[in-house]
Amino acid sequence: MTAVADLMDYAEVIERYDPVLGLEVHVELNTNTKMFCGCPNVFGGEPNTHVCPTCLGLPGALPVLNGKGVESAIRIGLALNCEIARWCRFARKNYFYPDMPKNFQTSQYDEPIAFDGYLDVTLDDGEVVRVEIERAHMEEDTGKSLHVGGATGRIHGADYSLLDYNRAGVPLIEIVTKPIVGTGERAPEVARAYVNTLRDLLRALDVSDVRMDQGSLRCDANVSLMARGATEFGTRTETKNVNSLRSVERAVRYEMTRQGAVLAGGGTVTQETRHFQESDGTTSAGRTKETAEDYRYFPEPDLVPIAPSREWVDELRKTMPEKPADRRKRIQTEWNLTPEELRDLFNSGAVDLVEATVAAGAKPGEARGWWVNFLAQEANSRDVELTTLPITPAQVARVTELVASGELTNKLAREVVKGVLAGEGEPDDVVETRGLKVVSDDSALLAAVDEALAAQPDVADKIRGGKVQAAGAIVGAVMKATKGQADAKRVRELIIERVGA
C-alpha cells in the first residue's frame, strides 16, 4: 500500500539520537457489568445481545457508574504508586464515530482518578528502570465494527460496515506514562518490559483478564527522537493498538529507525497516528495532527462527581499485591534461581501459573519446567497466550505428583498433559482412558522378562555369570515390549531375580 520507508541502522540511531517514549495502555476491567449500565461485561457473544438503552445510546437513557469499576481504578492507581484524587469528575469527549453510540466517550479529562505515580520495571539483566506514571483514568470502550466487502475486512475499500455494541460501555482504565527518557538503545526493551510488568501487576490485582490477544489490554506507543544533547523533545508519532509484547518492542524499534532516517535526511517527523503491521513489523501513517478532532470536553452532567473517602482508599490499600520488584526478589530466593532462570521465568509470563502450581503441591523446579518449557511451547505452537491453555495449575501439580510417586514416567507425563490439553479431562482420567499407567504389575512384567530372557539366552548367561551390566539389553527389550510403560528400575530388579544372579 505504501512505499517502503527508509530506515536508519539501529546503532546509528542510538549514536545520533535519544529516544523518548510515552506509553498509553488501555485495560478492560473484569467487572461483572459494564461501566455505566447493568449489561454483562463478557467477551464476545451473539452480536447486540449484551445491550440496553444506556449502552446503545438510545434517546433518554442515562448512565449510572459501576462502583466496582471505581474501586478497580483506585486499586490500579494505588498499585502504580499514584495519588488518588479527592474529588474528580467524568467528562464527555465529543467526536462522531459509528462504533460509539452516543458520539461522545464518557471519559475523564483534566481530573483523573489517579495521577503522579511510577512503576519499577526490571529488564532482562536485572537493571531496574523507573517509569513515571502521568495518570490512570476511567472511561468506556466502544462497540466493534465489521467491514464487509472490498479488501478482506479492512476498513479501506469496504462496501459497508456492521456494528455490534456488545463491547460498548465496557469499563476501561487508561494508564498513561510520563515521557520515558534516557533509555537509549534499550528503549524497545523498556517498552516491552513496562507492558509486561504492568500486565503482571494487573493480573495480580485481579482487575482484568489482561488478554492482549482479545484486546483486554491494548497499548499505544508514542515515540520521538531528540538529537543527542538537545533539550527539547522531537515530534512524536503514536503507534496505535500494538497488541502483543513482541509487537511493542518491534514497533518502538521500527519507529526509531524510521524517524532516524527521516531526521537524518533533513526531513521532519509528522505528528500523526501510525498503524502497526504484525506481518512485517512496520508502521504506516494514519491521521495527522491537523485533522485531529477538537473533542470539546466538558464535565459530564449526567454523572455526579466522585469523592473517594480516605477511609475507602486506605481500605483498598490493604488489598495491594506484592510489588513486582519485591516479588522477583522473593521468588529468586525461595526457588533458588539463577538470574537467567529468573529472567526466563518472568519473560515467559508464567510466574503466576508457576506460583499457583507450587501452591497446589508441585516442586518449584518441576512446576517451572512444565510451564516455561513444555507448556510455553504448546502455547506458542497454538499461537495463544500461556494463560489461556486449557490446563490449570492444579492439573499440572497433579501430574508432577503422579511422576513423583512413580505412577508416571516423564514421557508418560507429557502424554497425560497432552490429553488434558486435548480436553480429555483430569490427569487421572487421561491416565485411565489412554491406559498410560506405569506397568507395575509384576506378573505382567515377569512374562515380558521371561520372554526376553528366552529370546536372548546368551545374555541371560552373562548375567548369571555376574555381568550384571549386561541386563541393559534385556531391559531394553522389555521396555520395547511394554511400549515404555514399565518402570525400568523394577524391570532390572526382576531380571536379576529371574536369572538368580
Partner 1 sequence: MPNISRAEVAHLAKLARLAVTDEELDVFAGQLDQILDSVAKVGEVASEDVPPTSHAVPLTNVFREDVERPGLTQQQALAGAPSAEEGRFRVPRILGEEQ
Partner 2 sequence: MTELTRLTAAELAEKIHRREVSSVEVTQAHLDRIAQVDDLVHAFLHVDAEGALAAAKAVDEAPEPVSPLAGVPLALKDVLTTKGIPTTCGSRTLEGWIPPYDATVTRKLREAGVPILGKTNMDEFAMGSSTENSAFGPTHNPWDHARIPGGSGGGSSASVAAFEAPLAIGTDTGGSIRQPGAVTGTVGVKPTYGGVSRYGLVAFSSSLDQAGPCARTVLDAALLHEVVAGHDPMDSTSIDAPVPPVVAAAREGLRGDLAGVKVGVVTEFSGEGYQGGVLRSFEGAVAQLRELGAEVVEVSCPSFVYALPAYYLIAPSECSSNLARFDAMRYGLRVADDGEHSAEEVMSLTREAGFGPEVKRRIMLGTYALSSGYYDAYYGSAQKVRTLITRDFDTAFEKVDVLVSPTTPTTAFKIGERVDDPMAMYLSDICSIPANLAGNAAMSVPSGLSDEDGLPVGLQIMAPALADDRLYRVGAAYELARGDILGRLPELKGALA
Residues that bind partner 1 (CB under 8 A): 31-33, 37-40, 46-53, 55-56, 64-70, 87, 89, 95-99, 105, 142, 145-147, 150, 155, 158-165, 240, 273, 286-287, 293-294, 296, 298-299, 301, 303-308
Q: Find which of partner 1, Zn ion, Mg ion, none residue 184 binds, CB within 5 to 8 Å per kind.
A: none
Smallest gap from residue 64 Cβ to partner 1 (A): 4
How long, in residues, is the chain? 501
- Specify the residue for cell string 457508574: 65
179: nearest Cα among 187, 171, 170: 187
303: nearest Cα among 37, 31, 26: 37
Q: Phi-psi region for residue 435, left (φ > 0), alpha (ψ -120 to 50) or beta?
A: left
355: nearest Cα among 319, 380, 320, 330: 330
How far lies 149's CA from each of 1, 165, 275, 279, in Å? 18, 21, 21, 22
Q: How many binding residues for Zn ion (CB under 5 A)?
A: 5
Smallest gap from residue 201 Cβ to partner 1 (A): 22
Would you count residue 496 as binding Zn ion (CB under 5 A)?
Answer: no
What is the distance between the alpha carbons of residues 412 and 408, in angstroms, rounded to a whole number? 6
- Specify the residue for cell string 503507534: 239
In the range 170-199, which residues lie near Mg ion by CB under 5 A?
174
In the range 106-135, which residues lie near Mg ion by CB under 5 A?
none
What is the distance between the alpha carbons of residues 400 and 363, in angstroms, rounded to a whole number? 8
Site track for Zn ion across 19-58, x = CB under 5 A:
------------------x-x------------x-xx---
Task: Judge residue 252's burial from the number of C-beta atoms within 10 Å of its C-beta, 0-12 exposed, 13-18 middle, 19 or more buried.
Answer: buried
Q: Which of 1, 46, 87, 96 binds partner 2 (CB under 8 A)?
A: 96
Q: Find which of partner 2, partner 1, Mg ion, none residue 69 binds, CB within 5 to 8 Å per kind.
A: partner 1
Q: Find which of partner 1, partner 2, Mg ion, none residue 174 binds, CB within 5 to 8 Å per kind.
A: Mg ion
- Would you state the torsion angle of the CA atoms of residues 426, 428, 432, 435, taken in this order, to the nearest 10 degrees? 100
Would you count residue 161 as binding partner 2 (CB under 8 A)?
Answer: yes
Q: Tell me the three cell numbers of residue 383.
A: 499461537
The window from 239-247, 289-297, 389-397, 406-414 that contacts partner 2 (CB under 8 A) reads: 289-297
The window from 27-35, 197-205, 298-306, 318-326 that contacts partner 2 (CB under 8 A) reads: 298-306
Kindly write down the DSSP assignment for every residue of 342-367, as one continuous string: HHHHHHTT-HHHHHHHHHTT--HHHH
In the complex with Mg ion, the residue whose CB is nearer, 108 or 348, is 108
Q: Which of 5, 7, 56, 360 binds partner 2 (CB under 8 A)?
A: 56
Which of helix, strand or coil describes residue 333? helix
Site track for Zn ion across 121-150, x = CB under 5 A:
------------------------------
Distance of alpha carbon 100 from the chain centroid: 27
Kindly write down the DSSP assignment for every residue of 377-420, as one continuous string: HHHHHHTS-GGGSS--HHHHHHHHHHHHTTSS-HHHHHHHHHHH
Q: Find which of Mg ion, partner 2, Zn ion, none residue 301 binds, CB within 5 to 8 Å per kind.
A: partner 2
In the complex with partner 1, the residue whose CB is nearer, 159 or 232, is 159
Facing residues of 298 across strands? 92
In the range 101-140, which residues lie near partner 2 by CB under 8 A?
101-104
In the complex with partner 2, the residue whose CB is nearer, 160 or 310, is 160
- Alpha-carbon torsion (115, 239, 158, 280), positive or negative: negative
What is the distance between the alpha carbons of residues 320 and 79, in angstroms, rounded to a whole number? 6
The window from 231-239, 243-251, 299-307, 384-392 that contacts partner 2 (CB under 8 A) reads: 299-307
Q: Find which of partner 2, partner 1, Zn ion, none residue 61 binds, CB within 5 to 8 Å per kind.
A: partner 2
In the complex with Zn ion, the residue whose CB is nearer, 63 or 117, is 63
Residue 153: DSSP 8-state = T
Smallest gap from residue 3 Cβ to partner 1 (A): 20
- Please provide the distance, in angstroms rounded to a whole number, between the alpha carbons at the two ends of the chain: 79
Would you count residue 61 as binding partner 2 (CB under 8 A)?
Answer: yes
User: Please, are residues 216 and 203 in contact by the beta-carbon 8 Å criterion?
Assistant: no
Smallest gap from residue 295 Cβ to partner 2 (A): 8
Smallest gap from residue 299 Cβ to partner 2 (A): 8
Using CB under 5 A, list all residues that contact Zn ion.
37, 39, 52, 54-55
Using CB under 8 A, list all residues that contact partner 2.
53, 56-65, 92, 94, 96, 98, 101-104, 159-161, 163, 294, 296-298, 301-304
Using CB under 5 A, list all residues that contact Mg ion.
174
